[in-house]
Amino acid sequence: MKVDVVLGLQWGDEGKGKIVDVLANNYPVIARFQGGPNAGHSLQFEDKKFVLHTIPSGVFRKNTQNIIGNGVVIDPIIFMEECLKLEEIGVPVRERIYISKKAHLILPGHKIIDAASEQAKGASKIGSTLKGIGPTYMDKTGRNGIRVGDILTPDFHDRFSVLKKKHISFLKQFDYQYNIEENEAKWFEAIEYLKEFKLIDGEYYINNLLSENKRVLAEGAQGSLLDIDFGSYPFVTSSTTTCAGASTGLGVAPRHIGTVSGIFKAYCTRVGSGPFPTELNDRTGEMLREFGAEFGATTGRPRRTGWLDLVALKYAVMINGVDNLIMMKADVLDTFDKVCIAVAYKINGEITESLPYDTYAQIEPIYKEFKGWKRDLSKVTKEEDLPFEFMNYVRFIEKEIGVPIRIISLGPDRSQTIIRNEE
């Protein structure tokens, strides 16, 4: 068996949580491979709504193993809070969650450094979620980090003290008030809680599952345009959000990666700073935010909104080798008289279909207009019942990208999902 991958093709918040929850019905194993509590993955079923940050989105399915891979960074406090909430409603998290010993830990100092460096950047700040993601990956690649497996070693407290000292020293460059000890007792309490979980050699574990012919689905966090290498640098996150991250973040060889499904919204959103060529700072943009309830699942920040950007989408499809597309939230466009898609960019008078290296360049999107469908799609359950104008929109995207849209999501609930025929 191979590991199938589901990941976001835009700037995050495409609806990964919802779709992974839907697909988890067919996968006994769900694995997160990168990111951390900067993610907010929403799920909705039986009139209940949940937001997961560190926990894979298969956790509500009985008999599903949920693996947090080595590529993930874990804040023990956030993880404990998430788990306790789920335990309260009877989800047996300790049975369902497995954590790689090679996943790195977010320390209190990482969050402080995140906040201090954002403050120092002033107007050019990234708009980080302030969860300590960047500084934790910096310590990982700088070979200073602390991993989950370290909590079982006798010198764990010493390792913590060494890294804390480094953080205090690093923070001297900033004019920033902080108390690094404020959350320390809670952090260690959460470490004790973490010890009650199955801490595994994730790479052996997953490869063994594959050799037993178990289907594994890797769940991406963030989106391809926030990737550390291929995103709109420096306005990105600090992990490999693209398909290659599933290999390094789980210990699965590239040839054991199977089907790659790419998720995109029928329009675009972005939270935080950075280029957004099709952004709409007008009433249409406000309508997208209002109808799509576009407010961050982790930070509550209003999301920036705009039309679908095919140039950026094609780029993400190329980088990830996407086999199937999954289109989300077209129902948000239901009342629009016309809907637009950017098919190219005009930069300094030249027309291009490529993302420029210099993402600050003055990009003027070239739009193709589509007649709106003006129908409530949220209650449609069969492909045959989808309106002609909407299918026109769908077929145009498929043809331009050359990849089929296999799933169409028309509402936040599990049930509002149309899985299309193979044809």
Q: Does 263 bind Mg ion (CB under 5 A)?
A: no
- Name the nearest CA neighbour of 365 among 288, 318, 307: 307
Contact residues: ligand GDP, CB under 6 A: 8, 12-18, 39-42, 44, 293, 297, 328-329, 331-332, 409-412
Taking CB under 5 A as the criterion, the residue among 15, 40, 109, 285 binding Mg ion is 40
Q: Are 96 and 65 in contact (CB under 8 A)?
A: yes
Task: State which amino acid sits at residue 160.
Answer: F
Residue among 221 and 394 whose Cβ is closer to ligand IMO: 221
Question: Is residue 201 annotated as part of the catalytic site, yes or no?
Answer: no
Q: Which residue has the tokens 């590991």?
A: 3
Residue nearest to ligand IMO (CB): 272
8 by DSSP, 3-state: which?
A: strand
Interaction partner, residue 247 (ligand GDP, ligand IMO, Mg ion, none; CB < 5-8 Å by kind): none
Residue among 252 and 328 whose Cβ is closer to ligand GDP: 328
Provide, rounded to whole angstroms, the least separation between the CB of residue 52 and Mg ion. Answer: 9
How many residues can be counted in the chain?
A: 423
The CB density around residue 329, as the number of other CB atoms within 10 Å, is 26
The CB density around residue 403, as the number of other CB atoms within 10 Å, is 20
Interaction partner, residue 328 (ligand GDP, ligand IMO, Mg ion, none; CB < 5-8 Å by kind): ligand GDP
Q: List the end-to-end C-alpha distance of the chain, in Å, as a whole number.
A: 24
Provide, rounded to whole angstroms, the least separation between the CB of residue 326 and Mg ion. Answer: 15
Provide, rounded to whole angstroms, the least separation between the CB of residue 222 and Mg ion. Answer: 8
Provide, rounded to whole angstroms, the least separation between the CB of residue 343 and ligand GDP. Answer: 23
- Name the nearest CA neighbour of 40 among 9, 84, 8, 87: 8
Distance CA 136, CA 125 (A): 18
Phi, then psi, of 215 in degrees rounded to 5:
-85, 125
Question: Is residue 331 annotated as part of the catalytic site, yes or no?
Answer: no
Distance CA 97, CA 56 (A): 8
Angle in degrees, 0-180, between the axes of helices 76-88 and 184-194, rounded to the nearest 10: 60
Residue among 216 and 263 whose Cβ is closer to ligand IMO: 263
Interaction partner, residue 133 (Mg ion, ligand IMO, ligand GDP, none; CB < 5-8 Å by kind): ligand IMO
Residue among 42 and 65 whose Cβ is closer to ligand GDP: 42
Phi, then psi, of 372 in degrees rounded to 5:
-70, 155
Residue among 146 and 225 whose Cβ is closer to ligand GDP: 225
Instruction: Kindly state the DSSP code that residue 279 receives in the 8-state scheme.
Output: B
Q: Is 260 exposed, middle or buried (0-12, 13-18, 19+ CB in 10 A)?
A: buried
Q: Which of 4, 13, 75, 334 is catalytic?
A: 13
Residue among 55 and 209 whose Cβ is closer to ligand IMO: 55
Provide, rounded to whole angstroms, the least separation between the CB of residue 13 and Mg ion. Answer: 4
Residue among 13 and 334 whose Cβ is closer to ligand IMO: 13
Distance CA 81, CA 190 (A): 9
Interaction partner, residue 38 (ligand IMO, ligand GDP, Mg ion, none; CB < 5-8 Å by kind): ligand IMO
237 by DSSP, 3-state: which?
A: coil
Interaction partner, residue 129 (ligand GDP, ligand IMO, Mg ion, none; CB < 5-8 Å by kind): ligand IMO
DSSP 113-124: HHHHHHHHHGGG
Contact residues: ligand IMO, CB under 6 A: 8, 11-13, 35, 38-41, 126-129, 131, 133-134, 221-223, 226, 237, 271-272, 297
Interaction partner, residue 248 (Mg ion, ligand IMO, ligand GDP, none; CB < 5-8 Å by kind): none
Distance CA 107, CA 281 (A): 38
Catalytic residue list: 13, 41
Q: List residues binding Mg ion (CB under 5 A).
A: 13, 40, 297
